[in-house]
């Protein structure tokens, strides 16, 4: 949808409001319509967007973060013009390309090459425009001979390669991308981010929804934190991600409006993950030893100081939280949290730490964030290695079952 009065690449949301009715039973039938007519409706309603105003200028990259149900995907769908607003205005200047779901808009029986045409056509591009970019798209996707096989045989990684390659090469003015890049491997991700930067230098605008703070940090200078359908924070990316993290830490989800550096005279100035040899690194294998090391700086004398540490999965679920009383802190101190054996299993985790005087509410504590990547499949699947062992008793031949 090209909005009138908007510059190419500009995105505007003005007092956008959208309420969804949630039905018990998804599909309506005629009988229900006839029988329920005139009766009070049994719908619960959810305010997905509540008076959201945003203005994004051409060439900007904005990350949208928020907890599940905060309105991130709804915002993208409204911007893309897929979901209409109840009131307010949502407009994009120029051509928009969306990447909201892997494989949406692909014909499963079409080859990768044919799907490039189909997908381009869905975004309003003509044959010549697509043909002019076909070779670049295929080369970027690294699909090789798979490009001529039907996409139903593709892995999710291959879907991503194709989907992203199309989106990144069709030269749209605005790219709306939802939580997708996480599927690709590290080297392809790097390539994607490089291509996104290239497109932005050419004046394209990016709105990226992700649960992965590192992905947001890599491309976005600005971040918008959504909570309960409203904008809880809009500004610099580092500050915004901390805000997001603090939001995850609060039970009710109501924004407390705390800002880093407001703690009474105590802050974390450095944070590192150290391995058994004392070297700083962020990738570990399950079962390895690991120390979370931080340097605290007190301005003056901080009484009854506490340090807190929190580990969350990529999706924002709390895995572990702890805090410790440090007594009185003066000047600089180093605090370590030692983990003899890492029980976390494969995945990406956020480690957040903070420090404050005792009377500060814990929700405000967390102010520094680092990423912990656990690689390797030993130890089982899931979040944590429960370190149990199997035994079978009371049955002949039981040992066989255990292999």
Partner 1 sequence: MLRYRFLFEQMVRRELRQKYKGSALGVLWYLINPLVLMGAYALVFSVLLRVADVPDYPLFLLVGLIVWVFFSQALLAAAPSLVQNSALVRKVRFPREAIPASVATVQMVTFLVMLAVATVVALVVRGTFGPALLLLVPIVALLFCFVLGLSLAVSVLHAHYRDVEPVLGAALLPWFFVTPIFLRAEDLPGVADREWLGDLLQWANPIAPFVDAVRLVLYAGASPGAGHLAYIAVAGVVALGGGLMLFRRMERDLAVML
Contact residues for partner 1, defined by CB under 8 A: 1, 20, 27-31, 33, 77, 80-84, 96, 98, 100-101, 103-105, 107-110, 114, 117-118, 121-127
CB of 385 to partner 1, least distance (A): 36
Closer residue to partner 1 in complex, CB, 71/240: 71
110 vs 337 by CB, closer to partner 1: 110
Q: Would you say how long the chain is, in residues?
A: 403
Least separation in angstroms between CB 165 and partner 1: 16
Shortest distance in whole angstroms from residue 315 CB to partner 1: 21
Check if the beta carbon of residue 192 is closer than 8 Å to that of residue 181.
yes
Q: What is the β-pairing status of strands 205-209 and 174-178?
A: parallel
Long-range contacts of 374-378 (CB under 8 A, 24+ apart): 374/283, 374/284, 374/285, 374/286, 374/342, 374/344, 374/345, 374/346, 374/347, 374/348, 374/349, 375/283, 375/284, 375/285, 375/346, 376/285, 376/286, 376/346, 377/346, 378/285, 378/286, 378/287
Write down the least CB distance from residue 331 to partner 1, Å: 55
- Distances from the Cα of 314 to the Cα of 115, 184, 212, 245, 350, angstroms: 31, 15, 6, 11, 7
- CB of residue 50 to partner 1, shortest distance in Å: 17
Rounded Cα distance between 71 and 52, Å, is 10
> Which residue lies nearer to partner 1 by CB, 104 or 276?
104
b/e code 147-171 from CB counts within 10 Å (16+ = b): beebbeebeeebbbbbbbbbbbbbe
The residue (of 73 and 348) whose beta carbon lies closer to partner 1 is 73
Comparison of 30 and 325: residue with beta carbon closer to partner 1: 30
Residue closer to partner 1 (CB basis): 63 or 163: 163
Closest CB 269 distance from partner 1, rounded Å: 44
Write the DSSP assignment of 182-245 as a string of letters. Answer: GGS-HHHHHHHHHHHHHHHHTT-EEEEE-S-HHHHHHH-SEEEEEETTEEEEEEEHHHHHHHHH
Task: Find the shortest distance in angstroms from Cβ 283 to partner 1.
Answer: 33
**Residue whose CB is less far from partner 1, 127 or 190:** 127
């Amino acid at each position: 949808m090209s909005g009138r009065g908007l510059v190419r690449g500009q995105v505007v949301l003005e007092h956008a409001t959208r309420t969804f009715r949630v039905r018990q039973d998804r599909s309506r039938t005629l009988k229900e319509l006839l029988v329920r007519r005139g009766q009070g409706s049994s719908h619960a309603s959810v305010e997905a967007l509540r008076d959201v105003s945003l203005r994004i200028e051409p060439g900007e990259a904005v990350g949208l973060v928020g907890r599940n149900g905060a309105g991130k995907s709804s915002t993208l769908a409204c911007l893309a013009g897929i979901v209409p607003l109840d009131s307010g205005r949502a407009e994009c200047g120029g051509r928009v390309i969306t990447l909201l779901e892997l494989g949406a808009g692909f014909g499963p029986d079409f080859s990768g090459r044919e799907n490039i045409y189909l997908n381009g056509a869905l975004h309003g591009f003509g044959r010549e425009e697509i043909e002019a970019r076909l070779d670049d798209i295929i080369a970027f996707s690294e699909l090789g001979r798979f490009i001529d096989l039907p996409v139903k045989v593709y892995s999710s990684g291959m879907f991503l390669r194709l989907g992203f390659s199309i989106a990144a090469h069709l030269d749209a003015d605005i790219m709306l991308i939802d939580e997708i890049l996480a599927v690709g491997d590290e080297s392809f991700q790097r390539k994607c981010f490089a291509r996104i930067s290239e497109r932005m230098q050419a004046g394209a605008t990016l709105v990226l929804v992700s649960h992965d703070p590192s992905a947001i940090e890599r491309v976005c200078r600005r971040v918008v934190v959504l909570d309960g359908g409203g904008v809880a924070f809009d500004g610099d990316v580092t500050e915004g991600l901390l805000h997001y993290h603090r939001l995850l830490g609060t039970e009710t989800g109501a924004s407390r409006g705390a800002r880093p550096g407001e703690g009474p005279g105590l802050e974390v100035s450095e944070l590192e993950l150290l391995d058994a040899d004392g070297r700083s690194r962020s990738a570990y294998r399950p079962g390895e030893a690991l120390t979370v090391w931080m340097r605290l700086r007190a301005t003056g004398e901080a009484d009854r100081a506490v340090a807190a540490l929190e580990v969350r999965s990529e999706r924002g679920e709390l895995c572990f939280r702890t805090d410790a009383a440090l007594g009185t802190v003066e000047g600089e101190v180093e605090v370590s949290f030692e983990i003899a054996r890492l029980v976390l299993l494969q995945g990406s985790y956020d480690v957040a730490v903070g420090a404050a005087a005792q009377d500060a509410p814990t929700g405000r504590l967390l102010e520094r964030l680092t990423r912990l990547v656990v690689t390797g499949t030993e130890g089982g699947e899931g979040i944590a290695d429960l370190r149990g062992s199997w035994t079978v008793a009371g049955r002949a031949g039981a040992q066989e079952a255990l292999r």
